Amino acid sequence: RELILDLRNAAANGEMELYFQPQYTLSDYQISGFEALLRWNHPTRGLVSPGDFIPLAEDTGLIVQLGEWVLEEACRIATGWPDHLRVAVNLSPRQLRGNAFGPVLIGALMKSGLKADRLELEVTESVLLTDTEDVVEALHQAKSLGVKVSMDDFGTGYSSLSYLRRFPFDKIKIDQSFVRSMAYSDDSISIVKAVIELAKNLNMTTTAEGVETRQLLDMLNDIGCTDAQGYYLGRPMPVSQANELIFTCP
């Protein structure tokens, strides 16, 4: 489709932009970092959601160069933040295939000067589902550089637990669907509690996603979740607003 042609030049045309959603540590309610979320300011269609163009970018292979741009841009922006703040970047399976990712990652760190432990890579279970060997090796290389690796959308795949054995993640991001249903389902609370315990025993931290109310935030704190992210705490925002949040909060 014509959107594919547009997508090919979007980054070069300056139509791509990173938004940033804050993540908070629950013990002190301080910002621990931001997740970078891609936005496409299309010249005629307006703001196109990544849900609509990431699959297209994956199918066409354009995700590889787009992903490289995202990584470099996120690292560059994060160097302007205080040292304790991290930036998290979402990766598609295709970016980790073959052996091209290592040099891309090192390049992004070198060009920006960002300390490796301030970068976090978010991968979903689908990443480990495909081309396991390449992908596991790429993630190990990232870890050996000091980059953090998180399992995104935990609980939504078919065999989440086996992936925890296959790769030593630093963090589990508990999927929004579980977090949201904690408000009315005791079973969901039990599931989230179990995931938090599991993560603790594996020396992983936990980020609850999709926190939309104060009630959920308190509940998560009570059951030992370490971090939280969601509309109640802050929506994805342009970098100017993220900087305002960082530099004007006490």
Residues that bind Na ion (CB under 5 A): 152-153, 209
CB-nearer residue toward ligand G: 14 or 201: 14
Site track for ligand G across 72-111, x = CB under 6 A: ------------------xxx-------------------
Question: Cα dist. 137→4, 30, 108, 214 in Å?
Answer: 31, 34, 18, 40
Min separation Cβ 15 and Mn ion, Å: 22
Which residue of 159, 185, 231, 247 would you call a contact of ligand G, by CB under 6 A?
A: 231
Q: How far apart are CA 228 and CA 174, in angstroms?
A: 9
Whole-angstrom distance, CA of residue 128 vs CA of residue 86: 24
User: Does the footprint of ligand G cover residue 23 (CB under 6 A)?
Assistant: no
Considering the complex, what minimum distance in angstroms separates the CB of residue 154 from Mn ion? Answer: 11
Among 6, 120, 125, 209, binds ligand G (CB under 6 A): 209
Tell the smallest beta-carbon distance from residue 243 to Mn ion (Å). Answer: 21
Do 138 and 101 form a contact (C-beta atoms < 8 A)? yes
For Mn ion, the closer of residues 6 and 152 by Cβ is 152
Helix locations, 14-81, DSSP H: 50-60, 63-78
β-strands 16-25, 46-48 pairing: unpaired
Give the residues lining the site for Mn ion (CB under 5 A).
90, 122, 152
Residue 120 to residue 34: CA distance in whole angstroms: 10
Where does this chain touch ligand G (CB under 6 A) — which range of 111-119, 143-151, 161-169, 205-213? Answer: 205-213
Least Å distance, CB 164 to Na ion, is 16
Nearer to ligand G by Cβ, of 162 and 177: the residue is: 177
3-state helix, strand, coil in the chain (%, to 5): 50, 20, 30
Q: How far apart are CA 144 and CA 160, in angstroms?
A: 23
User: Which H/E stretch holds residue 214?
Assistant: helix 214-222
Question: Where would I find the H helices in 79-131?
Answer: 101-112, 125-129
Which one, 23 or 223, has the nearer CB to ligand G? Answer: 23
Residues 43-72 that bind ligand G (CB under 6 A): 49-51, 54, 70
Q: Least distance in Å: CB of 106 to ligand G?
A: 19
Task: Considering the complex, state which of residue 6 and residue 207 has its C-beta at the smaller distance from Mn ion.
Answer: 207
Do 19 and 237 contact (CB within 8 A), yes or no? yes
